[in-house]
Amino acid sequence: MATLEAWYMAVEVKDQTAENRLCPNQPVTKEEIADLGVLSWHVPPTGEYPAKAVPWNPSDIPDPVLAAVRTKRGYNYADIITCSEECLPDYHNKLKDFFKEHIHSDEEVRYIIKGSGYFDVRDRADRWIRIKLDAGDLIVLPEGIYHRFTMDSRNFTQAMRLFKGEPVWTPINRPADENLSRQRYLERFSALEEEKLLRETLAGSLRCWYQQGWCLGSSGSMAALLGPECNRNAPMLVTPSGVPKEQLAPEDLFLQSILGNELLKARRVIRQYVGQSLVQECLAALLNSMPGRPELKVSDSGPPGAKKGQTLRLFAAVFKERPDVRAICHIHSVDPPPPAGRWLSFHSWSVHIGALYCALPSLE
């Protein structure tokens, strides 16, 4: 199984095609890249693709995993290009153009068929992260992310470009902070940050309370709303049942709307696929990152019995009826002490499920 490799770049770049690592090397994980909105998979090429086909007819070569990507993400355009001194006119000037920092008003999707290259993306602190791409790597850069591309020292890349609708390759060079696509990206990025922070807060709170003896390891649950909305479609994070509190990880939480339409399954599913066949892993990662993906149950892959808790519907009902409530903690303890001054006992719901606490109006 190929693993995407990425690292923080040295500030000074003399040769854009060199690795330009920091010393010592500072690696960046696939998850950290995903936090920037960059998706990636490894899908080994299944046939001999032409050096150039603009556009390319996908039915020419059967590629079931790529076909799943195209269908699920709506990429109805594909072409194939080859970048090399032999194939690309004015190669060296083109290389300089590729390396100019820019954004796009759409996703940039590349599938490396042969050869290799680097995509550089900016992190939240505006530092460059270099992502190494080899044959079989498929990468999706989100609309509005600052990035650039360069060949590596091998000077050869054969790649498939994918697009939704009529392709637009026009780069918008930095500065583009006022650009609508850039603003959309920042909005989305801050939402990802909020989700990450809330996941860590919920999982960390329950782990801490378990260690303090305030709740049992096998029972109790928490839920919290994400974003400013309190309507029926508002997303909420919910802990799974069946996962011991001391083992609860931020990625184990469900994300779903109050109405109950699940937005994101626990990422534990993906982790379970590691070590199985590559195609299964790609499909699992693929399906988990796409809107409208099929139902995958945590209990299929997580610890025995891991599933949505029975209190989920109660939590949803509380959020719908009490817009001032942003988070709920349900713990089982004979004598549960309020974990913080701002956590208030909530008795207006005549439901006896141990102890029910509501946090008003934010988690800190």
Detail the residues annotated as belonging to a binding site.
Answer: 102, 104, 108, 147
Cβ atoms of residues 253 and 206 within 8 Å? no
CB of 147 to Fe ion, least distance (A): 6
Q: Would you list which residues are annotated within the binding site for Fe(2+)?
A: 102, 104, 108, 147
**Residue 109 or 298 having the CB closest to Fe ion:** 109
CB of 285 to Fe ion, least distance (A): 23
**Residue 57 or 170 having the CB closest to Fe ion:** 170
CB of 102 to Fe ion, least distance (A): 6
**Residue 108 or 120 having the CB closest to Fe ion:** 108
CB of 168 to Fe ion, least distance (A): 11
One-letter amino acid at 189 equals: F
CB of 131 to Fe ion, least distance (A): 13
Q: Is 252 exposed, middle or buried (0-12, 13-18, 19+ CB in 10 A)?
A: buried
**Residue 172 or 290 having the CB closest to Fe ion:** 172
**Residue 39 or 325 having the CB closest to Fe ion:** 39
| Nearest residue to 113 (alpha-carbon basis) of 137, 131, 132 | 137
**Count of residues near Fe ion by CB under 5 A:** 1
What is the dihedral angle through the alpha carbons of 318, 319, 324, 327, rounded to the nearest 10 degrees?
Answer: 90
d(CA 263, CA 277): 26
Q: Is 156 exposed, middle or buried (0-12, 13-18, 19+ CB in 10 A)?
A: middle
d(CA 286, CA 299): 19
**Residue 63 or 108 having the CB closest to Fe ion:** 108
CB of 109 to Fe ion, least distance (A): 10
Site string for Fe ion, 150-169 (x = CB under 5 A): --------------------
DSSP string over 243-285: S-GGG--GGGSEEEETTS-EEE--THHHHHHTTS-HHHHHHHH
**Residue 102 or 330 having the CB closest to Fe ion:** 102
Tally of CB atoms within 10 A around 340: 11
Tally of CB atoms within 10 A around 275: 9
CB of 52 to Fe ion, least distance (A): 19
Distances (CA, A) of 86 to 17, 83, 183, 251: 17, 8, 39, 46
Site string for Fe ion, 331-350 (x = CB under 5 A): --------------------
Distances (CA, A) of 353 to 302, 305, 328, 331, 345: 25, 20, 13, 8, 13
Residue nearest to Fe ion (CB): 108
Site string for Fe ion, 88-127 (x = CB under 5 A): --------------------x-------------------
HEC sequence for 316-332: HHHHHHCCCCCEEEEEC
**Residue 42 or 104 having the CB closest to Fe ion:** 104
Place of tokens 């060296």: 92
The runs of H, that is alpha helices, within 58-179 are 64-73, 91-98
Q: Would you list which residues are annotated within the binding site for Ni(2+)?
A: 102, 104, 108, 147
CB of 100 to Fe ion, least distance (A): 9
Place of tokens 């080994």: 44
| Nearest residue to 137 (alpha-carbon basis) of 61, 69, 58, 87 | 69
Residues in contact with Fe ion by CB under 5 A are: 108
